Chain A
């Protein structure tokens, strides 16, 4: 399906690769887009959710009688009204829409009110009396590993350990024995949150025909649909989920949420529409953001920097629920192998429950943390070997169209070109001081750093096991020449609606703004799994391409017959279907549809996409495989003020291997947005807790959760590397998440170049920089970061021979070990 600059009749591409505006741009820019909270229905009630002020407690009693008597209150529900658990992953069905007998973090729901207006609901909420019996809290990775009782959940590995993973690919002893240098580093990446502009909102209406409709700002309407049918015990066929345009998602709207289930239940009870719009404080409690991860990486290398073996351990603070956590745990160990050759690889990961808001997927899901660790680690290895950071990477790149030690199938691989671009663009060679600190190229306080990364273009497996397509597109052509694309995918601002229009317009030779795009409505659109894992452009793009090509085929047959032109001569462009050899012989697109409809009946086609099977077949092989991998490389130039420790990122050069841009303007927007978000994580953002044994969010508000403003945002020079991937529509790969990944390590490496201290903990705050500078000035190690990792009784690793060793992707049979 590889497509290059020309379509199949050698016509240049008219839409793909062009910087068209988004199909929904004007509505967004003029404030006309209807977000979930903008929707109001007659007789609508407002919902408020009472949340636990206790981080870990048993609910002894709940008394709603006073609240129920308040005029204007229509219904109050508690956990007993919604007894069925749910959760995004089949293996972690550990949430209740409202807690039944136990709360697990400050912010866990304990009751919900529906009332005539928000103030009444609020007032009623304050009249609900809850009696708690406090339990000991578990608040850190170390405690989660050590404290077995009380358990936050009664499932998982043991005690408060949710998940342990242990995988080994190839002969590690042999790998380390081959090394000229073995280096170990321990690093920590603090948790942070998505901070979408739009707070979550949901409106439910259970109508008089017993059909439920939910409008919600969700990235995953299909999974919400499944959670509703499970928890509400009504047939899926009676539920319609409409995902409204998301005012930012970044992974924070990918779980089914309690407020979605709560408003649905309240509407079923009251027979009236019920809406909940979360406050910013509640969004901090919903969280599902970046896991705090403590990491240890041990790597063996040859003198030239070639890796001989890598042993990676990660420890995740999961917060109070499972969410995507099992997948997150695997992701902290999956993509280390897809940038540079890692012939033998071992990964161990542990996720613990703690009494804090649950962590989940945030842009880059589980991979920015290990990527930061790996790229800083590699910088330190380069220093020990006296190699240039760009060279050590360039010389050992993973090969395109190869299979890694942990059985990930690489497709196109443009990282080398990415590195070359940023090295050239940033004048790296004239700025990077090298490892000789006496001969600086930039003055003390100024420095450059380099880092790379890769990300998946869609998860290779769906969240629940099935053999169906991951994305479906339905195309309707009407006799007036109108085209409607229907797809379950949801535009979260990234432009997925536009991508659907561009691809269909390209194939049918019409204007993308002629196309009606109808998405994310479970009654009207075929299933798409959702806007997560950077899957939409590749997967819905391929489905749209298939549907459009099928429609084009029907039109071609009808037109060829009418014009007596060989079918292969027909081309579609500028709203016409014409003979390429004789362009004046042709018809308008609308006339072509009329011909096709006359011949075949109503014209509608479908397309679907299922990712290729992964070569890995061991337990745990489900996380990491993808139809394609995007690549990024970045150089940051920083200024570090030794007086205050403040790090100012002055400029970032970033190159991204996009395969092919469907719309280069949107691609650049995603790259710059990723750099912005990456800078926030690198420099200041943290979900920090304090007081009461570190369970109270330090301030669940934008007042103290600091993210960069326009004044912190640096100049970004973006380079797009276009090398079509055979699995992408027109060769396209992802861009929504990948370009965030190199940013934190690039900044950390640049800080080292600028002032000679290693900040092995993200965010790189002025406090940490000043500490490390002071340590260095006193002759101690100029470093801030964790010094050790906890002891864990890891399970026996699951061993898999690498492809190089002749492995078949399956687990080796267990052999009894005699000591």
Chain B
């Protein structure tokens, strides 16, 4: 049942400084409201526990895609639509564009933001596996100052993350080191659009002399957090992609992930599909069919 609207408060700060003041003055009391694509669902279901929000939608400081020689930095409010349409992202970070295209529908892509997708901290989010595979770094800001943290260290448990009560996620930095990589992204959901994933796989690899010189793999919907699968990567690094390696990597992945039965699928299905996708990823990058 929908929540009772007068119970909620939404404020609109005029600039970033005022927004940070909400967080600094009453820690834990206020939460940012960006595109609202997750929060409105909870509101409609009567499950939005937090009641005080400030809108960051109008904060120009959090918008835009900045490109330097070393990196591409997405403002936290970059929408999926903006991601989809950006030519550098299409060229160098194609998995992110695919993830954006497969998130929700057009309306959600116009409102939903990359920053929101990260701090909503859903293990089923579509862009985080791509961000993990691309070694993203997060930029956090509070009235006390800014700091950076590797994205792979950010999520600590189901809906838990290293974000202080007074901090706001402002940007996502992607190192431009992807040119020699092969990219593989696949979202498996109940349908082709507007479905939350059952399993989401993002992988990049560099194959040199028929063996794996570099590999980064991340999966969504298979653990309490979106998971960078470093143990599986370790099994693969330096190996040639043959049946033995594939088999060892499958076994490693099955040990590394911890899917559950929920309303969307079963643990068994997720395990099998995750391993099948890993195999498909390895064969695809080996045979050089993709990207």
Q: Pick from B49-57, B157-165, B189-197 the stretch touching chain A.
A: B189-197
A712 close to B191 (CB less than 8 A): yes
Known: A279-B2, A701-B45, A770-B272. A684 touches B190 (CB 8 A): yes
CB distance from B123 to the nearest CB of A (A): 16
CB distance from B246 to the nearest CB of A (A): 13
Residue B107 is within 8 A (CB to CB) of chain A in the complex: no
Contact status B191-A774, CB under 8 Å = no
Interface size for chain B: under 10, 10 to 19, 20 to 34, or 35 or more residues? 20 to 34
**Majority secondary structure of chain B interface residues (helix, strand, loop or mixed):** loop
- Inter-chain CA distance A294–B263, complex, in Å, is 22
Distance, CA A771 to CA B265, complexed state (A): 13
Contact A119 B6 (CB under 8 A): yes
* Contact among B192, B264, B277 for A704, CB-based, below 8 A: B264
CB contacts (< 8 Å) of B196 on chain A: these are 703-704
Within 8 A of B (CB), among A682-719: 684, 688, 690, 698-699, 701, 703-704, 706, 708-709, 711-712
Q: How far is the CA of A766 from the CA of B277 in the complex (A)?
A: 14
* A89 cross-chain contacts in B, Cβ below 8 A: none
Q: Show the binding face of B for A, using Cβ within 8 Å.
A: 1-2, 4-6, 41, 44-45, 105, 188, 190-196, 198, 263-266, 268-269, 272-273, 276-277, 280
Cβ contact within 8 Å between B273 and A644: yes
CA gap between A771 and B266 in the complex, in Å: 11
Least CB distance, A107 to chain B, in whole angstroms: 10
In the complex, are the beta carbons of B4 and A122 less than 8 A apart?
Answer: yes
Query: How far is it, in angstroms, between the C-alpha of A488 and the C-alpha of B30 when the chains are bound?
Result: 56
A644 to B4, CA, bound (A): 41
A770 to B265, CA, bound (A): 12
> For the complex, what is the distance from the CA of A611 to the CA of B153, rounded to whole Å?
73
Q: Using CB atoms and an 8 Å cutoff, list the residues of chain A in contact with chain B.
A: 51, 119, 122-123, 126, 279, 281, 643-646, 684, 688, 690, 698-699, 701, 703-704, 706, 708-709, 711-712, 766-767, 770-771, 774
Complex Cα spacing A701 to B42, Å: 11
Contact residues in A for B190 (Cβ distance below 8 Å): 684, 706
User: A643 touching B41 by the CB < 8 A rule?
Assistant: no
Q: Please report the C-alpha to C-alpha distance between residue A712 and residue B190 in the assembled complex, in whole angstroms.
A: 10
Q: How far is the CB of A683 from chain B (nearest CB, A)?
A: 8
Bound Cα distance from A701 to B46, whole angstroms? 12
The reply to whether A643 and B276 contact each other, CB–CB distance below 8 Å, is yes
Instruction: Indicate which residue in A126, A704, A712, A767 contacts B266 across the interface (CB closer than 8 Å).
Output: A767
How many angstroms from the CA of A730 to the CA of B45 in the assembled complex? Answer: 50
Chain B residues near A644 (CB-CB < 8 A): 188, 273, 276-277
Question: Which 5 residue pairs of A and B lie closest in terms of their CB atoms, listed nearest first?
Answer: A711-B192, A643-B276, A706-B190, A767-B269, A698-B263
Residues of B within 8 Å of A126, CB to CB, are 4
Contact present for B191 and A279 (CB under 8 Å) = no
CA distance A468 to B236 in the complex (A): 78
Asked if residues B4 and A123 are in contact (CB atoms below 8 Å), the reply is yes
CB of A684 within 8 A of CB of B191, answer yes
With a CB–CB cut-off of 8 A, which chain B residues contact A711?
191-193
Q: Is the CB of A706 within 8 A of B4?
A: no
Contacts of A774 in B (CB 8 A): 272
In the bound complex, residues from chain B placing their C-beta under 8 Å from that of A703 are 41, 196
Query: If the complex has contacts A644-B273, A690-B263, are A706 and B41 also in contact, measured as CB distance less than 8 A?
Result: no
Bound-state Cα–Cα, A767 to B191, Å? 13
Give complex CA distance A766, B5 in Å. 39
B92 to chain A: closest CB distance in Å? 27
B283 to chain A minimum Cβ distance, whole angstroms, is: 11
Q: Compute how far the CA of A384 lies from the CA of B268 in the bound complex, rounded to whole angstroms.
A: 33
Query: Which of B190, B196, B268, B269 has the most CB atoms of chain A within a 10 A radius of its CB?
Result: B190
Residues of B within 8 A of A645 (CB): 269, 273
Chain A residues with Cβ under 8 A from B2's Cβ?
122, 279, 281
Q: Is A706 touching B276 in the complex (CB atoms < 8 A)? A: no
Q: Are A709 and B266 in contact (CB under 8 A)?
A: no
Residues A704 and B269 in contact, CB atoms below 8 Å apart: no
| B-chain residues with CB within 8 Å of residue A706 when the two chains form the complex | 190-191, 195
Give 20 A-B contacts (CB < 8 Å), ordered by A residue: A123-B6, A279-B1, A643-B276, A643-B280, A644-B188, A684-B191, A690-B263, A698-B263, A703-B196, A704-B263, A709-B105, A709-B192, A711-B191, A711-B192, A712-B191, A712-B192, A767-B265, A767-B268, A771-B269, A774-B272
Given contacts A644-B273, A684-B190, A703-B41, 4 further A-B contacts (CB under 8 A): A122-B2, A644-B188, A690-B263, A766-B269
Q: Which residue of A lies closest to B41 (CB)?
A: A703
Nearest-CB residue, chain B, relative to A690: B263
**Quick check: B263 and A709 within 8 Å, CB to CB?**
no
Output the nearest chain B residue to A703 by Cβ-Cβ distance. Answer: B41
Bound complex: CA A273 to CA B156 (Å): 55
Minimum C-beta distance from A133 to chain B (A)? 23
Residues of chain A lying within 8 A (CB to CB) of residue B266: 767
In the assembled complex, the Cα of A703 lies from the Cα of B105 at a distance in Å of: 12
Given the complex of chains A and B, what is the CA–CA distance between A690 and B265 in angstroms? 12
- In this complex, what residue of A is CB-closest to B105? A709
B281 to chain A, nearest CB (A): 11
Which listed residue (A119, A690, A712) contacts B4, Cβ 8 A? Answer: A119
**Which of A119, A644, A688 has the largest count of B CB atoms less than 10 A from its CB?**
A644
Is A646 a contact partner of B188 (Cβ separation < 8 A)?
yes
A122's nearest neighbour on chain B, judged by CB, is B4
- A709–B264 touching, CB < 8 Å: no
Minimum CB–CB distance from B103 to chain A (whole Å) comes to 14
